[in-house]
Amino acid sequence: MSQVLLVLNLLSLLSLSSGATSFSLGSRSILRAIDNENGGPHDYAVDLNASNFDSVLGDTPATFAVVEFFAHWCPACRNYKPHYEKVARLFNGPDAVHPGIILMSRVDCALKINTKLCDKFSVVHYPMLFWGPPAKFVAGGWEPKQEKSEIRLIDDGRTADRMINWINKQTDSSFGLDDEKFENEHLSSNVSDPAQIARAVYDVEEATSTAFEIILEHKMIKSETRASLIKFLQLLVAHHPSRRCRTGSADILVNFDDLCPLDMSSPSKQGDNNGEGTLGNFQICGKGIPRGYWMFCRGSKNDTRGFSCGLWVLLHSLSVRIEDGESQFAFTAICEFVHKFFVCEECRQHFHDMCSSVSSPFKTSRDFALWLWSAHNKVNERLFKEEAFLGTGDPKFPKMIWPPRQLCSSCRLSPSEENNGIDWDQEEVLKFLTNYYGKILVSLHKDKDKNNLRSDRLDWFLEDLAVSANAVVVPLGAALAIAVASCAFGALACYWRSQQKSRKPRRSWN
């Protein structure tokens, strides 16, 4: 891990030399309802313009997007707005009834900045509504005679009722304008569909940023917990499945001494959202996260699943990404993090007991990933009985010894379980975990801003770090040169990178 620290120190130097810190100020989520200019009721539809159009649509977890092109001076558009908002209420914001399915957005074509954008979509009257997968809008356009476009003109959305009917037809759903939050009984659990875990990349981002918010809200960074947080951040920097969480964690680490000075007896900076450059303003996984809802970890009842599910998924996804030499470090980082920062007393005590019962250090990532899987199953087993007795479980997501046969039939050696004991084929379990949490659960986020060199450089570095930490010795000369001559960073990093490549084949998680 000394190489990890070395490289993190170098990152710190680079950050200072470029004067760059990426404190993301502003609202918690662009998808959340925003106050309109008059301080009136919330708008649910997201305002897009030429500068954020591609990034918002590129980043949204929603499967579909509706984009309304309008003009603020157009009386018909003003009258249409309440209809559009009635539908947007269902899908946008932290109180969305059906979050993560459709992003409802609008573009004001009367603003000069949007002229080209509106031209690209051949906007000839207001309002004009389009439907399609969000990614198709990115750098896209629409022409009336274009065949086979996945972006479609919504030709029957003039009232909220007609719009929701149109959407229901497209999605084969039965959304209703009067649906209320947490009427999720229709949610299908799909526990046997391995592809579902791909959606969890949003949940590991949500869990990471939520965990961080809780740490700040509860002012949990103290002199006795500081080292544990740093350790966990180091693990995130190298192995978080989401690229932007890796970048955000690195930003916090390199600024850690400023953000969390050693005299934390009066942690005045924690949770302080007013001052620029304070920890409270730092969004670890980037702007707009936490979004306020869960995708893979969404429960069918309002108080089930969510954060703790997201945290488990994050921990498993870290466990399958580490190298052998990092296994003991990852174990202690995760145990300490749960023990010191997970505000569920029973959970952290149980987990601490399981951590304490490990008698010898982990030597391989295999052993650690399997230990975590088995620890989670022990929790599942206990909770299965408890939830059945108390009726507190999620009926659509009952606890089970995992993975069920439908997800991984080869994981079980014998076709039937005798005496409730399962005869696991551990190599098959490991293969399954690595594929599920490693290859399927990957970052979907690509840096849209090609000019964001710092972030690109950082990712280069971190990806290589993920490969090299503890397995390959970082060439000290090259690393120092990179730190000192940050202006020539690109060329030197390239050299360093090529050295790494020639030493060891790159792993392609992303």
Residues in the chain: 510
Q: Which long-range contacts (CB under 8 A, 24 or more apart) does 88-91 make?
A: 88/43, 88/44, 88/45, 89/44, 90/164, 90/175, 90/177, 90/179, 91/44, 91/62
Give least dist CB 143 to ligand FAD, A: 43
228-242 exposure pattern, b = at least 16 Cβ within 10 A, e = fewer: bbbbbbbbbbbbbbb
Distance (Å, whole) CA 248 – CA 259: 13
What are the backbone angles phi and psi of residue 48, rounded to the nearest 5°?
-110, 155
Identify the CA nearest to 354 among candidates 298, 310, 305, 315.
Answer: 315
Distance (Å, whole) CA 368 – CA 229: 20
Give least dist CB 149 to ligand FAD, A: 36
Residue 309 vs 466, nearer CB to ligand FAD: 309
> Is 411 considered catalytic here?
no
Residue 282 vs 351, nearer CB to ligand FAD: 351
Choose, from 77, 109, 297, 411, the residue flagged as catalytic. Answer: 77
Residue 319 vs 468, nearer CB to ligand FAD: 319
Position 481, amino acid = A
Residue 383 vs 478, nearer CB to ligand FAD: 383
379-403 exposure pattern, b = at least 16 Cβ within 10 A, e = fewer: bbeeeeeebeeeeebbebbebebeb
3-state secondary structure at position 253: helix
> Is 335 considered catalytic here?
no
Radius of gyration of the chain from Cα atoms?
24
Asked if 48 and 67 count as a contact pair (C-beta separation under 8 A), the reply is yes
Identify the CA nearest to 295 among candidates 207, 410, 427.
Answer: 207
Give least dist CB 349 to ligand FAD, A: 7
Residue 372 vs 469, nearer CB to ligand FAD: 372
Asked if 351 and 335 count as a contact pair (C-beta separation under 8 A), the reply is yes
Residue 303 vs 418, nearer CB to ligand FAD: 303
Residue 23 vs 402, nearer CB to ligand FAD: 402
Q: Can you give the binding site for ligand FAD, defined by CB under 6 A?
A: 297, 305, 308-309, 311-313, 316, 338, 346-347, 350-351, 373, 376-377, 379-380, 383, 394, 397, 402
- Residue 8, both tokens: 């993190």
Give least dist CB 440 to ligand FAD, A: 12
Burial class (CB in 10 A: 0-12, 13-18, 19+), 476: exposed
Give least dist CB 397 to ligand FAD, A: 4
Give least dist CB 249 to ligand FAD, A: 19
Contacts for 501 with CB less than 8 Å, ≥ 6 apart = none
Give least dist CB 30 to ligand FAD, A: 26
Residues forming the active site: 74, 77
